[in-house]
Structure 1
Amino acid sequence: MALIGGAALGWSALKDWHDHHAFLINASESLPNWALLVETGRFPARGDYVVFAPGHDPLVVKHFGADPKPFAKITYGVPGDVVTRTGDAVRVNGKTIAHLKPKTHQGEDLRPGPLGTIPPGCIYAGSPHRDGFDSRYAAIGFVCRDRLIGIGTPIL
């Protein structure tokens, strides 16, 4: 009987882990890691890898489809931080974190992302890659709770 109880407890723990975790393969070059263990339902802190739904902006749909796969980025700004821009330099709390490009590789206009105080429940998700498609552009913008999937831990 103890064996059955132990197996049931183990199964319950595994199911709970499965309900709150996932693996993500990052197919883009925007991050140095290509595999992440994702803990779902957690709000990211500054510096955390974050996994989110990119939304349905026409530029996102054109390049990633009507049902795009989740994006993985780094949390560069959290609620209350201030995003500013001087020329093509995007800053969070005065620190330059990215530079804007005027157009995609295909020549489409890239509109700059939001400025000002990051609202409650939202983050600035970015990438160290110069061609990163992230919160620096309006097509992604601030990423709020309704699009957040969880935080990621690089594993490969």
Structure 2
Amino acid sequence: MYGITPRTDASQTAIPVWRRPLREQIRVASRRVLPPLVMVMMALWVLTHYVAIGPNRTGSLPIKDYPLILVLKNGLVPDRGELVAFHPGPNRFYPANSIFVKRLVGLPGDAVTYDGNTFFVNGEPVATTKPRAKDGSRLIPGPTGVLPDCRYFVATEHPDGYDSRYSDIGWVSCAQIVGRAYAFP
């Protein structure tokens, strides 16, 4: 109106988000960051129902070059000699919700025997026992006999392995199996 044209200040529209008032920063961030963040969190939540990734914390598996373990939570039993993930059940050394990863060495119908301090599956040595744990507590050897349906003997080559060779773990049932495990670098 009196010959004055409204001034458009380009600097007002080009103010970076971090220099704007906090309330406006939150409003902008909620539109740009929140939806992708929620999507990623939901995808990770769903993925944890099917996959677990963790370190080889005890060193009982001879996979020093492969420090991470991937577990497919599908409940399927792997073949003999492959890695199996399972819940060991209540024991005196680990929390109840632990997941163990060991080699599957004995299948239903296999004969498990114990002589001296060595366990054998079908006459082949698979693991040796120790009389005491690292903390000095007594270790009792696990069960022997023919593995019934849905029972498995799991072990590692490591002398300190805590697996089916001890009665605290014993034979692993189908209900305890989480799934197949893979080692990767």
Q: Same fold (TM over 0.5)?
A: yes
Tell me, yes or no, if structure 1 residue 21 matches structure 2 residue 51. Answer: yes
Candidates 19, 27, 38, aligned match of 2:71:
38
Superposed displacement of residue 98, structure 1: 1.0
Letter paired with 1:147: Q
Larger Rg: 2
Q: 1:129 aligns with which of 155, 158, 162?
A: 158
Deviation at 1:68, TM superposition (A): 4.1
In 2, the alpha carbon distance for the partners of 1:102 and 1:24 equals: 30
Matched, 1:55 2:85: no
Residue 133 (structure 2) pairs with residue 104 (structure 1): yes
Cα deviation code 1:23-64 (max 9, x no counterpart): 23221110123312212221121011011111103x2xxx22
Cα distance in structure 2, aligned partners of 1:24 and 1:79: 29
Select the structure that is richer in strand. Answer: 1
Deviates more, 1:36-45 or 1:113-122: 36-45
Please state whether the residue corresponding to 2:169 is helix, strand or coil. Answer: coil
Report the TM-score, using the length of structure 2 for normalisation: 0.69
The 4+ residue runs of structure 1 with deviation greater than 6 A are none
Alpha-carbon distance in structure 1 between the residues aligned to 2:85 and 2:137: 25
Alpha carbon RMSD of aligned pairs, Å? 1.8
Whole-angstrom distance in 1 between the partners of 2:118 and 2:179 = 28
Identify the range of structure 1 (22-31 vs 121-130) with the bigger mean alpha-carbon deviation.
22-31
How far the C-alpha of 1:125 sits from its partner, in A, is 0.8
Task: Name the % identity.
Answer: 35
33-42 vs 130-139, greater mean Cα deviation? 33-42
Relative contact order higher in (CA < 8 Å, ≥ 6 apart): 1
TM normalised by structure 1 equals: 0.81
SS in 2 for 1:125: strand
Q: Which moved more, 1:81-90 or 1:32-41?
A: 32-41
Residue 73 of structure 1, aligned match among 80, 102, 105: 102
